[in-house]
Amino acid sequence: MPSIADLLFLLLLMSLSIGILAPRLLGDAGTGWHIVNGQLILRDHTITRTDPFSATMKGQPWYAWEWLFDLAIARIHQWAGLNGVVFFAATVIAVTFAVAFRLALRRGASVPVALILLVLAIASSAIHLFARPHILSWLLAVVWFEWLDASETNLALGRDHRLFWLPVLTLFWVNVHGGFVLGFALCGIYLCSGMMRYWRTRESGEKVLLRGWLGRLAAVSGISFLTGLINPFGYKLYLHVFQYLSDRFLMNHIDEFRSPDFHGVAQQCFAALLLVAMVSVATGRRMRLSRLLVLLFAAYSGLYASRNLPVSSLLIMLVIAPQCSETLARAADNSMIATWLRRFLTWQRGFAQRVGELENRMRGHLWALVAVLIGTVVCAQQGQLGSYQIMRAHFDAKRFPVGAVDELERRGIREPVFSEDYWGGYLIYRLYPQNRVFVDDRHDFYGDAFLKRYLKIIHVEPGWEQALKEVNPTCVLLQRESTLTNILKEVPQWTVVYEDQTATLFMKSSP
């Protein structure tokens, strides 16, 4: 029999690879430039250090800090095309949530509570279900938190050797995604909570244990920080990430760094998680300081930026699932509660205990392994299983300018293409090296000055015509219904050479 964790994995894997959620994984054009950059690394046998894609910034220093993900995804694309890319991303996401579910059970959560909270976490993460390197940060953040928290939980048992694996995790994390800074933040939280606990403790035996644990944690944190310097850019990567995250203009104008809009379903699910967390803290037993600080950190991170919702949701779920389960279990014995409700809670407690014992005995994960094997075979056969085509991963023509790019290729146009930043990655994927882009979604690379000029053009703000002349494109590709599209249609200098329901392609007329 498959375990509940296996069923979760299978459901997510199928939904994301061949089901209703599959188109979402290629819903971000940035996947395109990750693939092409990995192809360049494979071709040149060196890590990209200067920009090869932009007509405006060509040759400028570029921190391709996600190079290891790019390399892996290019290999997969070389082997199985976009089907392989989607299946790989679906597997990583499914593993992340299945592991989070099992860890919640191991931490003392009941199966029903863990399932409900996990569903909320999955729904909260829906806005970032893309085949991009941040999905690896989700998994690494879950593992990092579990190892840190377990080391404090097992304080009285002596050393927890998993803590010493954090530098190894750092070495991988720093080369696949900039989210590695989250690991350092979590270490800082546990160090601060440990020192506060040490100062409050009066028992000499506990002080000795805390002193030893704090020393190990401080040493591991320091080694992890130094290990993070083992990347192609050394200490300059730390400086670059700090400057990027502290740039107020970028943080205020990049959609994923802005606070979530709680009119969306994903954001509302995150709000539900926050409400459950508040009730759990208020009604449950006193929470350990480190977990309370992690809870506050996760809540603030999710409220600060939309891109933080997945990791914040996972951390909140792992912290409050055991607390909620214990509160419900104790409520069954509370004489102040109505009799019918106590009976239901008593039944729920017994059911959860039986299911939990059964779940803990199922560790083979045969069904999950078989599913991954079948998916791998399907990808190797161009998405076919026998005579049936069950996978056909592609960039959606309703979201990306597929027809317009086909027209560019048909006309043999080799000029750089001025387009909107979130289409840049797709253009790189389809057109590089014949065409370069003026801008894409690598906002940290382009910087404030360039992006201010770009936004002035796109939003048709005062001075946009002069800004467009400075960029001097001969080929412009825009959303069909955008303001700039409607304006350029009225300018004799620009001629519409292609238009469909998604995009409009302009070429500059000869003088």
Q: What is the pLDDT along the chain (511 residues), one digit of tens a residue?
A: 788 899 999 999 999 999 989 999 999 999 999 999 999 999 999 999 999 999 988 889 999 999 999 999 999 999 999 999 999 999 999 999 999 999 999 998 999 999 999 999 999 999 999 999 999 999 999 999 999 999 988 875 666 788 899 999 999 999 999 999 999 999 999 999 999 988 988 787 788 888 888 999 999 999 999 999 999 999 999 999 999 999 899 888 888 889 998 999 999 999 999 999 999 998 888 889 999 999 999 999 999 999 999 999 999 999 999 998 888 888 777 777 777 777 887 777 777 777 777 777 777 788 899 999 999 999 999 988 888 889 999 999 999 999 999 999 999 989 999 999 999 999 999 999 999 999 999 999 998 889 999 999 999 999 999 999 988 899 999 999 899 999 999 988 999 999 999 999 999 986 5
Distances (CA, A) of 92 to 85, 135, 156, 398: 11, 7, 34, 26
What one-character DSSP code corresponds to residue 50? B
3-state DSSP helix/strand/coil percent for the chain, to nearest 5?
65, 5, 25
- On whether both 383 and 428 belong to a single domain, the answer is no
- Residue numbers of the domain that contains 91: 1-99+364-394
Q: Is residue 486 part of a domain?
A: yes
As beta bridge partners, residue 419 has 477
State the total domains in the chain: 3
- On whether both 52 and 113 belong to a single domain, the answer is no
- On whether both 239 and 185 belong to a single domain, the answer is yes
Q: What amino acid is encoded at 480 in this protein?
A: R
Q: Is residue 337 part of a domain?
A: no
Q: Is residue 385 part of a domain?
A: yes
Q: Is residue 261 part of a domain?
A: yes
- On whether both 234 and 218 belong to a single domain, the answer is yes
Q: Is residue 483 part of a domain?
A: yes
Q: Is residue 136 part of a domain?
A: yes
- Would you say 107 and 322 are in contact if contact means Cβ atoms under 8 Å apart? yes
Rounded to 10 degrees, the C-alpha dihedral 103/106/111/117 comes to -40
User: Pairing state of beta strands 494-499 and 475-479?
Assistant: unpaired
- On whether both 83 and 37 belong to a single domain, the answer is yes
In this structure, the number of other CB atoms found within 10 A of the CB of residue 58 comes to 12
- On whether both 247 and 314 belong to a single domain, the answer is yes
- On whether both 219 and 93 belong to a single domain, the answer is no
The three-state secondary structure class of 54 is: strand
- On whether both 46 and 83 belong to a single domain, the answer is yes
Q: Is residue 78 part of a domain?
A: yes
Q: What is the Cα–Cα distance from 511 to 494, expressed in whole angstroms? A: 11
Task: Report the pLDDT value the prediction gives residue 253, as an integer from 0 to 100.
Answer: 86
- On whether both 130 and 185 belong to a single domain, the answer is yes
Q: What is the Cα–Cα distance from 273 to 298, expressed in whole angstroms? A: 11
- On whether both 1 and 146 belong to a single domain, the answer is no
Given 356, 378, 394, the domain boundary residue is 394
Q: What is the Cα–Cα distance from 97 to 114, expressed in whole angstroms? A: 11
- On whether both 186 and 287 belong to a single domain, the answer is yes
Q: Is residue 257 part of a domain?
A: yes
- On whether both 61 and 151 belong to a single domain, the answer is no
